Structure 1
Amino acid sequence: MAALNYHHLRYFWMIANENNLTRAAEKLHVSQSALSIQLRQLEDSLGQKLFDREGKRLHLTEAGRIALDYANAIFKAGDELVSLMHGRPASMRQLLRIGAVSTLSRNFQLELVRSLLLRSDIELVLHSGSLRELLAQMHTHTLDLVLSNRPIPRDAENNWHCHLLDEQAVSLVGKPVEGEPMLRFPEDLATIPLLLPSMESEIRAAFDFLLEQAGIRPQVIAEVDDMAMLRLLARDSGHLALVPPVVVQDELRQGILVEKHRISAIRERFYAITPNRRFPNAMVRELLKVSSRDKIGNASG
């Protein structure tokens, strides 16, 4: 096996960061044709294509993304060596990039990654966004894992794997009121203002269907697509909110909010979506193994 040419690797690193062969050649003070040859030699030595080309645009392949991660680690190690020789501490950490849909409970995310935060050998990068945005990032190999409250079907174009991490019944929660009678579900909801997840939420769809079957038209005071905001509104408004208990676990523990009614027929499910890759991040496998063993819901109610 041929030894890795670090000169070629530095050139590749510059191309990947500039995302443009011409700009990289200008910064490296070499001709574009010479740079192309160096890149081709690196690809030949690794036995993998590192870029897909669309006109003048370059896109990292899966192998290219892995090579870039290693190149970043190698050059960072060089910087840390210099730092170490000058008496400054150095460390090597493995990168794990996780995306989470903005509607997902922050408490659930925290319970999932809590053990990783205690490890000095892992650098954790967390992104938030819409499911479409995050899946697009995973498709371009800039995310290793996407957390979602919706499953994603596999198809010919996107060979995702969808792992069920946990599920729990949702509840109507509100501030405790002394002497308040027990909530009669669902009949009392015809007259009580409610804070609900947005129409795109699966638990909202199930909730609406349940009330429709009972002939109840709810008084919706607000629709919220962010669980963190729904939690704050439940704390401060005095209205009932429809949430998975994990969203308000701290408030329930402290008695700031109480469960008025748990709706066992409606379940919130939490998924980890991973790509089918030739070079999977080993930390993803470890994280899924831990979560399936410990079941996040055991810690979140």
Structure 2
Amino acid sequence: MDTLNYHHLRYFREVAHDGNLTRTAERVNLSQSALSSQIRTLEERLGHRLFDRTGRQLVLTEVGRIVLDHADRIFRTGEELVATLKRSGATLPPLRIGALSTLSRNFQLHFLRPLLGAQEINIILKSGSAGVLLEALKSLALDVVLTTEPPSSLIGGDFTAHRISEQSVGIHGTPGRLRHETLHDLLSREPLIVPTESSIRTGFESLIARLGVTPRIVADVDDMAMVRLLAREDMGLAIAPAVVLADEIRTGLLGTAPFDLEIIESFYAVTVRRSFPHPVLAGLVSR
């Protein structure tokens, strides 16, 4: 099919919404015969009839309904584009967020909380690896990426990493497993659930080397949601920020050992320099 003529498509859309050729011709200041010719040309280009005539009314065929649906979206997108560039318009564009697939769901919810219930904004949330998400951010397919590490300079891109939170990493589990007088005893006697996330794992390896402990690791986990579930099922003690298990800690299902591990996990919102950033983004990353 040759390139679509959007003038023909626009005239078709106007007639489809009016359902009356004469009325549309008057409104768009075009003769009825010229308007009919525009629609016939579009039908020939598409290879399908778009209207059936019922009396003096034009009724969309099945293909006509499909074409109208696409036309509405095409021209609505164009209107949003103009509004965005003019920084005007009643509706905001969707906020496209990428989140590391291993990132705590509770942290993601905390980041999104100011937007929850805001009817004027739509959130598109995608998860994946850091490399894939940052490439999407660089190509402007995403507005922001949530991660636990700033981007490496090796991947290029004009990124800015906003540190929006940091959490102490602790030891969490069912109360019965936490009854040890020393950190050494706890780490050497209880089964452990350890995330593979680099800052936590590096800090944990340093901790056990310093204490001279050979731990019993029952799960190496690359998903914080699974860390949470395994701790709930009493498979072992979780080495994680409290935000990962916030609901269980609040209700008393899980507790936190009274030891300072001296491990910190930071959370970043990564953006890329652009001329037209999403209007709500500055408020989210500056908290």
What is aligned with 1:87? none
> Aligned pair 1:275/2:272, yes or no?
yes
Cα distance 1:276–1:170, how it changes in 2: closer, same or farther (>3 A)? same
| Higher Rg | 2
Q: Secondary structure at the match of 1:282?
A: coil
Percent identity reads: 37
What is aligned with 2:217? 220
Q: Which amino acid aligns with 2:285?
A: L
Aligned positions of 1:36-115 closer than 5 A: 72=77, 74=79, 92-115=91-114
The structural deviation recorded for 1:118 is 1.5
What is aligned with 2:120? 121
CA contact (8 A) 2:93 2:278 kept: no
Q: 2:261 and 2:146 mapped to 1: Cα distance?
A: 23
Instruction: Report the TM-score, using the length of structure 1 for normalisation.
Output: 0.65
Supply the RMSD in Å over aligned alpha carbons. Answer: 3.2
CA contact (8 A) 2:99 2:133 kept: yes
Q: Secondary structure at the match of 2:257?
A: strand
CA contact (8 A) 2:207 2:261 kept: no
What is aligned with 2:65? none
Aligned positions of 1:1-301 closer than 5 A: 7=6, 29=45, 72=77, 74=79, 92-154=91-153, 157-177=156-176, 181-198=179-196, 200-289=197-286, 292=287
Q: 2:121 and 2:181 mapped to 1: Cα distance?
A: 47
Q: 2:107 and 2:162 mapped to 1: Cα distance?
A: 15
Q: Which amino acid aligns with 1:237?
A: D
Q: Secondary structure at the match of 1:208?
A: helix
Q: Which amino acid aligns with 1:148?
A: T
Q: Which amino acid aligns with 1:171?
A: G
Instruction: Report the TM-score, using the length of structure 2 for normalisation.
Output: 0.68
CA contact (8 A) 1:154 1:160 kept: no
Cα distance 1:75–1:144, how it changes in 2: closer, same or farther (>3 A)? closer
The structural deviation recorded for 1:181 is 3.3
Any gaps of 5 or more consecutive residues in structure 2? 11-41, 47-72, 82-89
Cα distance 1:74–1:272, how it changes in 2: closer, same or farther (>3 A)? same
CA contact (8 A) 1:183 1:261 kept: no
CA contact (8 A) 1:97 1:124 kept: yes
Q: 2:274 and 2:211 mapped to 1: Cα distance?
A: 47
Q: 1:233 and 1:280 mapped to 2: Cα distance?
A: 39
CA contact (8 A) 1:171 1:260 kept: yes
The Cα offsets for residues 130-179 of structure 1, whole Å up to 9 and x where unpaired, read as 1111111112211000000112244683110000001111111110129x
Cα distance 1:27–1:243, how it changes in 2: closer, same or farther (>3 A)? farther
Q: 1:28 and 1:265 mapped to 2: Cα distance?
A: 72
Q: 2:117 and 2:181 mapped to 1: Cα distance?
A: 42
